[in-house]
A and B are shown apart, each in its own frame.
Chain A
Amino acid sequence: MRNIPTRYAASRTIGGALAALSLITLTACGGDSGSESTGAVEKLGENEGEVSILAWPGYVEDGSTDPAVDWVSGFEKETGCQVTAKVYGTSDEAFNLAKSGEYDVVAASGDLTLRMIAAGEAAEVNTDLIPNYEGIYDFLKDREWNTVDGKNYGIPHGYGANLLMYNTEDVTPAPTSWKAVFEDAPKHKGQVTAYDSPIYIADAAVYLMAHQPDLGIENPYSLDEKQLAAAVDLLKAQRASVGEYWSDYTKTQASFETGDTVVGTTWQVIANLIDPKKASVKAILPSEGATGWNDTWMISSNAKSPNCAYAWLDHISDPKTNAQATEYFGEAPNSDKACEFASEGHCETFHAGDEKYAEQIWFWNTPIEKCLDGRTDVTCTDYQDWTKAWAEIKG
């Protein structure tokens, strides 16, 4: 290389290109923050011919995973909207993808929706344009994660609770409280599991709400610094007994089957999947209540195909489609009508429409500085604080 006379020139070009490129990358990341939504659309137009969707795995199935599981092809034929779907693994990942502005529709859990709305990424939705909205359970509508200042930002999809699961042989007497994974955790040292996400801090807060009322926790997603510190202490103590944290549901399934884990948080679908020959488990909703998820179909404020997006929102909340999708994922559907289409026992297993049951669930919400429980004398800890605390808990 040393003898080549153009070496200097070449390196200068590279330098120039580098500078130019970094400039491009930096400015391209800019994005248009703070773009205020200008109100929901009044009328729908022609379908655009395509729609891109960002969703949890299992929410948008076109038969490519399993030929028998397909609620997309019919929609494409009927509306002329070609669907491209991308799946994500965590709400944080979804948020970064959604900000790219490439998606028309996003299926968001409650720990994401408020961030989407605050970042100006979500468009107000005119529910009058979605005929199937009417049949949806009233207790899922107008909640604090899908409706802000009276403006609706999406359609409820399905919901479920983060339950307490235990191995019936190893954990006796049968627990009825989250105490099993907190105070009683040392009894099963190394065999306790917990959900691996900052949002799990809310589970500790739900427990503290019932057992340490003097802390004054009103809403597990609305913690001031003192309350967060109490939850962190509880989780740090729990950490000593935790064998592993899980975020991939197949991992916790395997862990319960081999006996590496005997008690911890779970989803109903995992309890259903565990082979009873390998481990006898039970999943319960403890006396303190539980956290849970309630997902919302949102439309991007930068949607290129808003009409197809509305068509999709209506399609996915169609009782038959909703039954298919929520059953495939393993959660309660969003309407009584959907239960007519679901297989027998599905709605009972997942307590669909059971308002008493739903009242015990603190659906995931985004912790923000402005306290969600209405307190104005303190600032609350936000999701970033929670992320930091979570890393610290794991140590």
Chain B
Amino acid sequence: MTLSSISSTLSRRPGIRLGLLLAAPLTWLVLVYVVALAALLVTAFWTIDSFTNELQRTFTLDNVREITGEALYRTVTLRTLGVALLVTLIDCAIALPVGFYMAKIASRRSRHLLVIAFLMPLWASYLVKALAWRSLLSNGGLLDWAGGLVGLGSPGFGFTAIVLTQAYIWLPYVILPVYAAYERVPDSLLDAAGDLGARPALTFRTVVLPLVVPGLVAGSIFSFSLTMGDYITVNIVGGANQMLGNLVYINSGSNLPLAAAIALIPIVVIMIYLALVRRTGALENL
């Protein structure tokens, strides 16, 4: 087959053309996501030889029964959920005013500077950021010193530390979509609302906010799901606490099926979260 005949075949057969074009990304998608996820799902229903760690491929509901029945998993799931919700709330609360300032108030020049400033942390390694928070929070660290000025100490390592660190690490992922959403709100709408006599607060609530919600939702999906799955920050600043990710990690060595079953918890939670979000209709406007 000559080159020209190949090209003529391709031009006559759009299906082959498309297939070839999509082959590489689809293989990637299927291999990395679908197969991995399917394997995970299947593994959760297997069991393991307690001494040799060999997988035993017989269907069992033991793992699912264990994660739904035992108090440990309930406690840790609630803790993880609490952290994820708090992180999302904090990030949204910061992103709303900051995004508004960046998109609508700041001058062109300072807007660019602000975007760069908020993106900068993304260039630093996750570990560096988490470890930096460790030293901020530690005894004699910056927070300890600053807190001392107003009669408080550092919150120390633990639940609060996890929330603070995670909120910091995922903040750019929330600010960016929110900022982009504000950008798309035409200034003329704000002017019109003003001309019709609406005060700024009313304009924000009735005009701007509904248009920004999709961006906020997109951001919250990032901060929520990334926090749900994290275990490294917990290891670094979490003190004696553990989250779902840590349970997966500790079991991944000695009991893979149980680890897979635990990993199903955040998947289910995130699916519920997405379903709720979808109900609000916010996803269609993305």
Contacts and interface: CB of A to CB of B under 8 A. Distances in A.
A119 B34 contact: no
Given A14-B30, A190-B156, A91 B139 contact: no
A76 to B, nearest CB: 31
Contacts of A18: 30, 34-35, 38
A95 interface: yes
Interface string B149-165: 00000001100000000
B236 interface: yes
Interface in A231-249: 239, 242-245, 247-248
A390 B253 contact: no
Contacts of B247: 391
A9 interface: yes
B232 to A, nearest CB: 11
Interface of A: 4-6, 9-10, 13-14, 17-18, 21-22, 25-26, 29, 31, 33, 90-93, 95-96, 99, 115, 118-120, 190, 198, 239, 242-245, 247-248, 251, 254-255, 258-260, 368-369, 382-385, 387, 390-392, 394-395
A22 B240 contact: no
What are the 10 tightest A-B residue pairs by CB atom distance, in nearest-first order? A92-B253, A6-B15, A119-B52, A259-B139, A258-B138, A244-B239, A242-B240, A33-B54, A260-B139, A258-B139
Contact of A93 (B50, B53, B141, B253): B253
B198 interface: no
Nearest to B237: A244
A26 B140 CA distance: 52
A95 B138 CA distance: 35
B203 interface: no
25 contacts: A6-B15, A18-B35, A18-B38, A21-B31, A22-B38, A22-B39, A33-B52, A95-B53, A95-B254, A96-B53, A96-B252, A115-B52, A119-B53, A198-B254, A239-B240, A243-B157, A247-B235, A258-B139, A258-B141, A260-B156, A383-B50, A383-B254, A387-B254, A392-B72, A394-B241
B39 A25 contact: yes
Contacts of A387: 250-251, 254-255
B38 A10 contact: no
Given A22-B39, A248-B235, 20 more contacts: A6-B19, A18-B30, A18-B35, A18-B38, A22-B35, A33-B52, A92-B253, A118-B51, A119-B51, A120-B52, A239-B240, A244-B157, A254-B134, A258-B141, A260-B157, A369-B51, A384-B48, A384-B50, A387-B255, A394-B246
B47 to A, nearest CB: 11
Contacts of A14: 26, 30
Nearest to B22: A10
A201 to B, nearest CB: 13
Nearest to A245: B240
B139 A5 contact: no
A391 B39 contact: no
B75 interface: yes
A299 to B, nearest CB: 18
A382 B35 contact: no
B238 A21 contact: no
A190 B223 CA distance: 29
B262 to A, nearest CB: 9
Interface string B100-114: 000000000000000
B55 interface: yes
A5 B157 CA distance: 58
B50 A369 contact: yes
Contacts of B55: 29
Nearest to B251: A387
Given A6-B15, A93-B253, A395 B30 contact: no
A368 B51 CA distance: 7
A156 B134 CA distance: 37
A21 B72 contact: no
